[in-house]
Amino acid sequence: MQIEISGIKIEVQKKNIKNLHLVVAPPDGKVRVSAPMHLSDESITMFVRTKLGWIKKQQEKFEKQPRQAEREYVSGETLYLFGQQYFLRVEYSYKGNSLIIEGNEAILTVRKESNAKQREAFVNEWYRSKLKEKIEIYLPKWERITGLYCDSWQTKYMTTRWGTCNINTHKIWLNLQLAKKPIECLEYVILHELAHLKVRNHGKDFVAVMDQYMPYWRETKKLLNDLKLDYMEEDSFQ
């Protein structure tokens, strides 16, 4: 369900848990509350009201975070692949689309009549293929290290989460935007989602798992959340 307090929309989910959990999620500051099944809506609302100052502070932080400019996919723009910056060079051909990296350039070959949306769709699929290549390396690595194994995984463009895990089906989703971030950020998100196969919430047991296998995870999390976000129209935030 969804509630609204002081103009802030909050997504509320009741689960089989003992304590309330409040999250203001990057990149856009969406507010989510997980609450015990037995807790009344009134009690949840009262809890959120006591946290309004903290919520607004977190949302302001995300609003001030730099975002990449809206892309037109023309020569001179920049493109990031696993944390490395490349300068886009657009060439035209009727033989089909391609994108290759040469030195510090990303050479995008497209039909001359193609528009920005069509070019974006192609580039996103290119990102997807590059991300999948890395996931096929780093997911098995962290499964071996932790002894935690997912049954399946997919990539998806997400605006509120870097990854998500369905603990019932043991399926992991990873944000397509991770293809643009440093590899250590991808590894952090993979470990984070695998840890949820052992611990549902983000309590002390979850933190203990993260500390055990990636003692520097807090620094990597901060790095990921401080990086530039994709351009999004204001009304596209959910």
DSSP structure string for 94-144: SS--EEEEETTEEEEEE-TT--HHHHHHHHHHHHHHHHHHHHHHHHHHHHH
Q: Which helix (H) or strand (E) holds 31?
A: strand 30-36
Span 27-55, average pLDDT: 88
Please give the order of strands across the beta sheet that includes 21-25: 2-5, 8-15, 30-36, 21-25
**Which residue would you say has higher pLDDT here, 235 or 205?**
205
Q: Which residues pair with 51 in a beta bridge?
A: none
Q: How confident is the model at residue 228 (pLDDT cuts 50, 70, 90)?
A: low
Q: What is the 3-state secondary structure (H, E, C) of 164-191?
A: EEECCCCEEEEEHHHHHCCHHHHHHHHH
The predicted-structure confidence for 119-149, as pLDDT tens digits, reads as follows 999 999 999 999 999 999 999 999 999 999 9
Q: Tell me, what's the pLDDT at 59?
A: 83
Indicate whether 165 pLDDT > 90: yes
Residue at 61: amino acid letter: K
Q: How confident is the model at residue 60 (pLDDT cuts 50, 70, 90)?
A: confident
**Which residue would you say has higher pLDDT here, 39 or 62?**
39
Q: Tell me, what's the pLDDT at 123?
A: 95
Span 224-230, average pLDDT: 72
Residue 120: C-alpha distances to residues 49, 94, 203 (Å)? 41, 18, 39
The predicted-structure confidence for 70-127, as pLDDT tens digits, reads as follows 788 999 999 999 999 999 999 999 888 999 999 999 999 999 999 999 999 999 999 9
Q: How confident is the model at residue 58 (pLDDT cuts 50, 70, 90)?
A: confident
**Which residue would you say has higher pLDDT here, 3 or 132?**
132
Q: How confident is the model at residue 23 (pLDDT cuts 50, 70, 90)?
A: confident
Going by C-beta distance under 8 Å and a sequence separation of 6 or more, which residues neighbour residue 15?
34, 35, 36, 37, 200
Q: Which domains does the chain have, with CATH numbers?
A: 2-64 (no CATH), 78-236 (3.30.2010.10)
Q: Tell me, what's the pLDDT at 229?
A: 59
Span 49-63, average pLDDT: 85
Going by C-beta distance under 8 Å and a sequence separation of 6 or more, which residues neighbour residue 6?
52
**φ and ψ of 189, to 5 deg:** -65, -40
Separation of alpha carbons 57 and 230, rounded Å: 22
Separation of alpha carbons 167 and 213, rounded Å: 20
Q: Tell me, what's the pLDDT at 24?
A: 85
The overall average pLDDT reported for the chain is 88
Separation of alpha carbons 35 and 44, rounded Å: 7
